[in-house]
Structure 1
């Protein structure tokens, strides 16, 4: 591991989470080398299957950067490997070799049995090429096959300012410079095309957003109807959401569609894992990031159907289900595949965007940021604040003053901020509730 001469660990605290490693680019050379080591080991663990490494901080500003490891099927790292990567990233230089050896032994990784294969890409930040070189130095320790794809699809403009799914979602308005008229059917994806949102202008010239919650309800309701039509009573359908899901979407899924709804922590890796517990697991974050998972049991079941035992109507439904499965990209996010799914279901339902939007009315909601995430810890899928002590009780007391009020706070996984979410029956109340909770966060964190 002679390349370590170039990449000394300086005591920086690195944490690998849902967003991978993210921080100022000048702090990342050492950790990039170690990510290369772990990516190679991950490939060997999968008997030489190709593992991806993407160098990007997604929507962060240019001076930031980051990196993620992607499993052969497009999944994120499992929690156990995240923890191991965090440990390796924070290991002093003189202990790194032994730490790697211990990890190889613990995981029974046959480093002499398989040649690792790594696909690597980077975004357009000035720092990305240098960081990519550090990753490749780490990978090369294991004499891996490296497929360097160079510059890949990432935002060249910060999507929070000029365009993209983030802007549309947070600002509840079309991308800057886009002229909308009644009847336009619009969709917006983010820079790396793993999220999608729909929007339109109604006859009253109101901007109407159809976000990940709307997509999840559309897909899960449609798929449940097909299961019902085919009398597959043993096939389970579930909807997975986060605390950011609009309260009315959850109520609609539970009470109208009668579909079980599970809430997980923020981050598609948590939703993806929970969705695997169902034969048809639909998951979407409200920001438009998600997909549908279909179990092997379901796929085997539909192969065994005797067409002669089905009515013409049921044969059509079976064919639709097969086509939906083929159309779906079951990795953690593919905006183009999701777009085709939505368009197919809208066509089969005979829905306009307005028909779809009218399935339920969103509760007005707001998202805000407050400095200093280190003071905040949460539980119950991030819906309950554990520390600072007394903050959750204060939030509960404020929420009671608002019709259909709900609010939670959580430390950001990508920035040094506390994220505040608030929803209520009216726009005015949502604004006021968000403001009150932000003030509470400031009050309680200033004491620490």
Structure 2
């Protein structure tokens, strides 16, 4: 249940007016610039050590190179501030690690001499500094949202309490009655479905002109849960989706490159899995099934067979401890090894590495008739792993499917390089722990 807070006015009066999202970004920017002093200090100490004959000039030069991934790490973190703060640890580790791995790749590709010690020092400095800043200004801060219409809390609770959903980020709420109250909030939560009247319109206009940030209930729900409210799609849904159009081309190039790089590892693993499947049960090791892909076009998806030969004849939900699954099938499902053949689907363009999981054609037809906005999930290419998989796992009921759709549409709306990297990191955790397998 959502609870409102009655906060003391003197404490609130010290807060600056404006958007908490903007405030987060400005604080992290100032923190990033302050961190450059650490690199300056490291460089001065490195130069003194070089003059003393302790380190070579390469050490100092590598430290200077480390400033580039340091700044890129903050850019990457800035691009992901819209994600729920509960993802903080994954975001910080990802933002700090990826740029330094990229720099290491540049050094190796162009045969640039570098110091491993200096690169490690730069990475640790970046990781620690970002972690301190994020926890101080983002993760540990509990935002306060004001509301004028009591029914907005009921709508928000309907978004937050969906079956099978992960818990939301902590938040405070307070009913406001004046402009002064609104100025002390990080944002004003507005019910867009409320019938407009002249008095309400004038009041909202006054808030807007006073630089009070206003959010729809659906937007607040997205920020707290990483899901899209399905009561009705936010008016910015298609605008946000269109903004990621060019990223689709880069994503396709990354998919092809990743499959080529993974092939030397995936081929021997695939051969071993196919061998043990054939040893346990008769029949082919590869299972083919029609799934629905980009823009609703059907394609044949490949998987390693994890059930009996005729077990998958009918489209149905996967159940916990499904009796149709073989002993080998249970193992390969737990660690997602049954999905190795789908790398071919990625190479062929039917799928992507990251995206909503493709559903069986009969189930898509049923869900399109019974669940509002379900076809919107086909606006992006389906993937081996997706936002719903790492947040929720497999689903087994129609109600959980609705929750899964809210995650999938969040991905469609916010598809980005930062979000894909976060999903990739959480997918590795799934592979190591078997989380969500059935």
TM-score by length of 2: 0.22
More strand by share: 1
Higher relative contact order (CA 8 A, sep 6+): 2
- Highest Rg: 1 or 2? 2
More helix per residue: 2
